[in-house]
A = this chain, B = another copy of it.
């Protein structure tokens, strides 16, 4: 099996990136079968007319993604499949859309409120200062799936209600030039209150899946604090995670 690889030096795309993409595609496509050796780096570099550091950089990025495993003295192997993708900081909207679920959003509240101590602590603003509040109901197949309550620092973003109904919050932030960096999440469960049950078409006392999240941009600012409740019969958190070596 030959595995055709080539790079375009006239392209503005970095060489290591071109290579890693081709390797990833070959793994995805099954051309590179799980467990098979990738061939040594030096020979691979020579074959492509690249230097070894460049090839290493390409391979390293796939190792970080969990697709490849390196063993000193042995070689680089394709991981025995099962790997889909590591946990990403994704929005529920994107997740649903990617799963072909046709998400819909109903904006219940889109206003400013005075920050409580809890909100102020999460967003790093002064208690009592004005913050955006957005309450949304997320539906899939016409059925309520989650109730999302979010708070944002003021003047960070234009929160157009119409736009909120057709896309996700994260997508709007990215479009506004905000570089998301990290988030702190807590996932738990509790019994539904009367109000929660009403909103999600559940019964009082029914188990709900809860998630709280504070998201930070790359300057360290908190850009969003959210309290979400999900119907566990309709949604669960599913993800892959890698062991940090």
Contacts and interface: CB of A to CB of B under 8 A. Distances in A.
A12 to B, nearest CB: 15
A221 B238 CA distance: 20
Contacts of A82: 182, 184, 214, 216, 220, 222
A62 B209 CA distance: 33
Interface residues of A, number: 51
A240 interface: yes
Contacts of A243: 88-89, 180-183
Interface in A16-62: 34-35, 53
A88 to B, nearest CB: 6
Give the most central of A206, A221, A243: most B CB within 10 Å: A243
A81 interface: yes
Copies of this chain, tallied across the complex: 2
Interface in A145-204: 180-191
A5 interface: no
A11 interface: no
B241 A183 contact: yes
Nearest to A69: B218
Contacts of A88: 241, 243-244
A241 B66 contact: no
A232 B189 CA distance: 5
A197 to B, nearest CB: 12
